[in-house]
Structure 1
Amino acid sequence: MPVLMQARRRDERHRAATPLELFFDLCFVVAVAQAGRQLAHGLAEGHPGHGISGYLMLFFAVWWAWMNFSWFASAYDTDDVLYRVVTLVQMAGVLILAAGVPRAFAHSDFTVIWFGYLVMRLAMVTQWLRAAHGSRGAERRTALRYALGVTVCQIGWLGLLALPEHDIPWVFVVVGLLELAVPALAERERQTTWHPHHIAERYGLFTIIVLGETIAAATLAVQSALDRNDALDTLLPIAGGGLLLVFAAYWIYFAVPIHLHLRSNRQAFLWGYGHYLVFGSVAAVGAGIEVAVAESFGRAHLSAFAAAACVTVPAALFMLTVWLIHSRHQKRGPAQQLVLPVSALLVLACTFAGHGAVLAAGLVASATVAVGVTLASRQGTALVE
């Protein structure tokens, strides 16, 4: 018999991510990889509008499904048989969604994606209904509001299948805003008991996974170019610069113990929602490196400047977003506060370096870490950028 699903304590000691949560995250790597690959193809083929808009929409679907599960698990993870089975069903939905990504990009056919999302969301509704069954009073009403909100939004996503292709972006904007509003509406009477350290760890682990996917995408691009051209003098600066960017991104993100900042729902929601840009920009850097490699060998329909921007713009966006929602809460004085915003501008300036842009951006990112470490050691603060 399954146990009653009751809220876990927010001050629970030694709370950590479970193996099931890590397995859940790995399934999302497939979806992230598919979205990044399609973004790279769209940019390389000279269709930036189609590539970027499609990427933003599909990455939203991936990120939002992951985020919903992560916050629910932080509050209600029972790790019993029923909980595990329903979570595995959600993972199956992620893989179905990932399989539909190429069709959605190429033909604006969202049927497979919608069905995969349906599987994920119905499983999520089941979890919330189970939480409502094990709760009473305001907590029960909160769980029921979540179940209703998720259901209504899933119905709204039918617009992807029923409306003409030119209306699809509007469906994403409207229903996406409704999705973002569900937590605020559901928790207006009572807040769920998410665990700050657990949530911070979950986001950190997903950041590592996305960084890993970026490295994998860049490695495949370099390998493919080597197989065709064997031009190390062209590839090494791009590969080296990309690696420096990823290493610096890791250092910058994990510079501060962010769980100390997550004290209220308002702080946590702003921080959590902001990670759409954090995760999305990191994954886009990998796609940008693919484009830079393709352009350097004349296999992309865009200029060297545009190819450089495919790397520098998401890298700068990552730095600025991490500073805005994450790092600035632990910084002391104007010098530490200015490191990331200034570095983001310098990374953007590297766009004008043409074929040397990726290496230049990597060197700027490395210098950012070095300056941050120096300032932190002088002021006796945390380790970092």
Structure 2
Amino acid sequence: MSQETLAATPPRRRRMTARDVTESLRVATPLELLFDLCFVVAVAQAAGGLHHALTAGHFGDGLVGYAMTFFAIWWAWMNFSWFASAYDTDDVPYRIAALVQITGALILAAGIPRAFDQRDFTIAVLGYVVMRTALVANWLRAAVSDPEGRGTALRYAAGVTLVEAGWVAMLALPSGVRPWVWLLLACADLAVPLFAERRHRTAWHPHHIAERYGLFTLIVLGESILAATLAVQEAVDTRHATAGLYGVAAGGLLIVFAMWWLYFAKPAHRFLTSNRSAFIWGYGHYLVFGSAAAVGAGLSAAVDFATDHSTGDGVVPGAVVTVPVAVFLLAVWWLQHRPHQVGHLHNLLVPSAVVLVLAGTFTGVPVLIAGVVLTVLVVLAVVVTRRAGVAADGHA
């Protein structure tokens, strides 16, 4: 870091007061990067559970288990990131609280296999409670240090505590009713920020939030990169590799590259100007993150199908990849592209690509077709965007 940058960096404070939403040089801290790194384990566990469920033919149970466990991962990460954007002091108490939350994330990750295989959420809930308890402590500290945001901080602390008690109580209920109680508690968790910020908005930083979401997108894309790499390895190492395996290897790489390109094609911080836009964008990323990690699980399953390590009937070997790819495309289009008020032609590209990707499910090389479609989509999106930019400059 240069001397000029060091001089421009604002000093860390010892009181947990709200940060300036226009603060310059507001980027992810090393502590936040460590937090994300530890969440890689939880994401890998969830994706691994989905992969095994898909190859075993347990599609319904696998999807439900994945949706439930990934919700816990995503929501815990979201709460940490938004709080850090508003109140990160980087002092000793804050760092300790963050390390406690990381410990909770690792406990949650350790409990994911049980949640998948046995529907035993005891360890996962324990990890979740550890993370949330540290979060409550941070909100109480913010309530003491920031008089202007005290009401919001106290409402957050109360809301998180009540829902946390609900998660613990769920463990005592019969297994048959737990999924319905889980759904109720998930909705209650999602409602806490709406309740807490109804009168006063926390001072989150738009550019910092956009960067944090981009970094987590890279984490979940890592699952797809790993699966694509293993597909290439299988194709190279297997003497009698089939055309289907080569198609999975090539298509997987094209899919991952295109997913990265499409997500980062438009800057998100420009339209994060209100709580309403931020809530829609932030909550909607559950589909972005979840589908991106599911693509990795699907590619791993596709390798198993192509190498006869598992059997799938009908459209299953293709759907395990094309369906999450389609969800990712629609979510990114809705959240990242559409708010920029792109032209009608641009708005037609992604839905058309989704139709083609899903149609490829019924072919012999669905992963390769999905990769080619996404590559063409990237090329067309670049061309359309450049033409729109030239036209705008011409009218300026």
TM-score category of the 2 structures, normalised to the smaller one: over 0.9
Residue number in structure 2 paired with 1:376: 385
Does residue 207 (structure 1) correspond to residue 217 (structure 2)? The answer is yes
Secondary structure of 2:171's partner? helix
CA distances 1:225-275 after superposition (whole Å, capped 9, x unpaired): 876775264422101101111100000000111110100000000000000
Q: Does 1:30 align with 2:50?
A: no
CA offset digits 1:194-238 (Å, max 9, x no partner):
010000000011101111122113434664687677526442210
Letter in 1 for 2:139: W
Q: Determine helix, strand or coil for the equivalent of 1:299.
A: coil
Structure 1 counterpart SS, 2:363 = helix
Q: Per the alignment, in what secondary structure is the counterpart of residue 126 of structure 2?
A: helix
Counterpart check, 1:81 vs 2:82: no
Cα pair 1:159 1:168 within 8 Å, conserved: no
Correspondence 1:286 to 2:296: yes
Structure 1 stretches of 4+ with a deviation exceeding 4 A read 221-230
Comparing 79-88 and 59-68, the one that deviates more: 79-88
Alignment partner of 1:183 out of 193, 203, 206:
193
Q: Distance in 1 between matches of 2:33 and 2:310?
A: 36
How much has 1:376 moved relative to structure 2? Answer: 1.1
Equivalent pair of 2:330/2:350 in contact (CA under 8 Å) = yes
- Of 343, 361, 366, 2:353 maps to 343
Instruction: Number of aligned residue pairs: give it.
Output: 379
248, 251, 269: which one aligns with 1:241:
251
Q: How far apart are residue 300 of structure 1 and its match?
A: 2.4
Instruction: Give the alignment partner of residue 110 of structure 1, picking from 110, 121, 131.
Output: 121
Gap runs ≥5 in structure 2: 1-12, 392-396
Q: Matched residue of 1:157: which SS?
A: helix
Aligned pair partner of 1:142 in 146, 152, 176: 152
The whole-number CA distance in structure 2 between the counterparts of 1:134 and 1:99 is 35
Q: Distance in 2 between matches of 1:51 and 1:226?
A: 30
Determine helix, strand or coil for the equivalent of 1:165: coil
1:311, 1:74 → 2: CA distance? 34
In angstroms, what is the RMSD of aligned CA positions?
1.7
Partner of 2:204: 194
Matched ranges for 1:20-99 at <5 A: 20-99=31-110
Distance 1:217 1:164 in 2: 37
Asked if 2 retains the 8 angstrom alpha-carbon contact of 1:222 and 1:293, the reply is no
Q: 1:295 to 1:332 in 2, by over 3 A?
A: same
Q: 2:26 aligns with which of 7, 15, 36?
A: 15
TM-score, length-scaled by structure 1: 0.95
Shift of 1:87: 0.2
The one-letter code sitting in structure 2 at the alignment partner of 1:114 is V
Deviations 1:42-91 (A, max 9, x none): 11111101000000000000000000000000000001111111101100
Q: Distance in 1 between matches of 2:238 and 2:112?
A: 27
Distance 2:25 2:169 in 1: 44
Query: Distance in 2 between the 1:159 and 1:41 partners?
Result: 30
User: Deviations 1:349-374 (Å, cap 9, x if unpaired)?
Assistant: 110113x0000000000000000011
- Which residue in 1 is equivalent to 2:181? 171
2:142 pairs with 1:131? yes
Identity %: 56
Amino acid aligned to 1:198: H
Change (3 A) 1:378 1:315: same
Contact 2:251 2:371 in 1 (8 A): yes
Q: Displacement, 1:297?
A: 2.6
Which residue identity lines up with residue 204 of structure 2 in the other structure?
A: W
CA 106–51 in structure 1, closer or farther in 2 if over 3 Å, else same: same
Moved more, 287-296 or 226-235: 226-235
The answer on 1:359 being equivalent to 2:361 is no
Which 5+ residue runs of structure 1 have no aligned equivalent? none
Residues 108-135 of structure 1: CA deviation (Å, up to 9, x unaligned): 1111111111110101111111101102
Matched, 1:274 2:284: yes
2:235–2:249: 8 Å Cα contact kept in structure 1? Answer: no
Instruction: Tell me the amino acid that sits aligned with residue 264 of structure 2.
Output: F
| C-alpha distance in structure 2 between counterparts of 1:381 and 1:368, whole Å | 20
* Counterpart check, 1:303 vs 2:313: yes
Q: 1:222 to 1:151 in 2, by over 3 A?
A: farther
Select 1:6's aligned residue among 17, 37, 57.
17
